[in-house]
């Protein structure tokens, strides 16, 4: 029987059980999403708080299948999701729940969700065809802001009405939400305002590289959203 009361020494890890991806980071991220402390996760999973800390802080930690199953249950997710088994796959590969409910979100809920930051998709018309591309964004003073290259697809939306969509899909529970922002995209050119956005923005472009110095701001005209709930 697996001892889940204390950290296992690396030499005790079962061979071939190393989880793909950074298990500790996935555990911590999921715990944070649920608003749980390490102690609460430990209580739910029937293990010690020290062992939860060990899993989060040591990238070489590789719990056996039973321990991972208990931990996934405590975090309301799946062992495959925790272990990185869905890495590289699009969200939404899980089956629909038996009795889902689709609920419209009010504007306050939408703004709260969009302010959690992350990756969103900007949709615009370009060269006679619709275009949709993802960007790392932040919310500053209620507006969606992001940095991009002046010659990029997102930059083509400057001066136009665009749509911006943010979502979260939980494959383990077959639920999620999406928020849709509509507004006009504007380039931020004032030096003081650029400095302010740089200081307050949560994220920078994951794509990296040089030249992504154009700040774009979308002040919402309308904000709508929906949530799929499972009962």
Q: Residues 122, 179: one domain?
A: yes
Q: Please indicate, yes or no, if residue 4 is contained in any of the structural domains.
A: no
- Over 70: is that where the pLDDT of 73 sits? yes
**d(Cα 146, Cα 163) in Å, to the nearest integer?**
14
Which domain range does residue 21 map to? 10-83
pLDDT of residue 83: 75
Q: Residues 113, 224: one domain?
A: yes
pLDDT of residue 225: 96
As a whole number, mean pLDDT of residues 210-224 equals 94
Q: Residues 60, 120: one domain?
A: no
List, for residues 114-161, the tens digit of each pLDDT value: 988 789 999 998 777 899 999 999 999 999 999 999 999 999 999 999
Q: In total, how many domains does the chain have?
A: 2
Q: Residues 72, 106: one domain?
A: no
Burial class (CB in 10 A: 0-12, 13-18, 19+), 95: exposed
Tell me, rounded to whole angstroms, the distance of Cα 128 from its chain centroid.
32
């Amino acid at each position: 029987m697996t001892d889940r009361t204390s950290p296992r020494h690396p030499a005790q890890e079962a061979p071939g059980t190393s989880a793909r991806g950074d298990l500790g980071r996935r555990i911590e991220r999921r715990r944070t999403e649920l608003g749980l402390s390490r102690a609460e996760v430990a209580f739910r999973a029937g293990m010690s708080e020290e062992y939860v800390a060990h899993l989060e802080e040591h990238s070489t930690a590789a719990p056996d299948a039973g321990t991972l199953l208990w931990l996934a249950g405590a975090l309301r997710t799946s062992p495959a999701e925790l272990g990185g088994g869905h890495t590289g796959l699009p969200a939404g590969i899980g089956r629909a729940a038996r009795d889902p409910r689709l609920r419209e979100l009010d504007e306050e809920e939408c703004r709260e969700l969009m302010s959690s930051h992350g990756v969103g998709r900007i949709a615009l018309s370009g060269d006679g065809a619709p275009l949709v591309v993802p960007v790392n964004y932040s919310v500053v003073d209620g507006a969606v802001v992001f940095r991009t290259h002046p010659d990029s697809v997102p930059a083509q939306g400057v001066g136009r009405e665009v749509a911006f969509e943010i979502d979260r899909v939980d494959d383990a529970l077959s639920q999620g939400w999406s928020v849709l922002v509509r507004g006009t995209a504007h380039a931020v050119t004032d030096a003081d305002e650029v400095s302010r956005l740089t200081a307050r923005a949560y994220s920078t472009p994951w794509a990296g590289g040089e030249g992504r110095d154009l700040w774009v701001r979308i002040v919402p005209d309308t904000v709508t959203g929906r949530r799929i709930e499972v009962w």
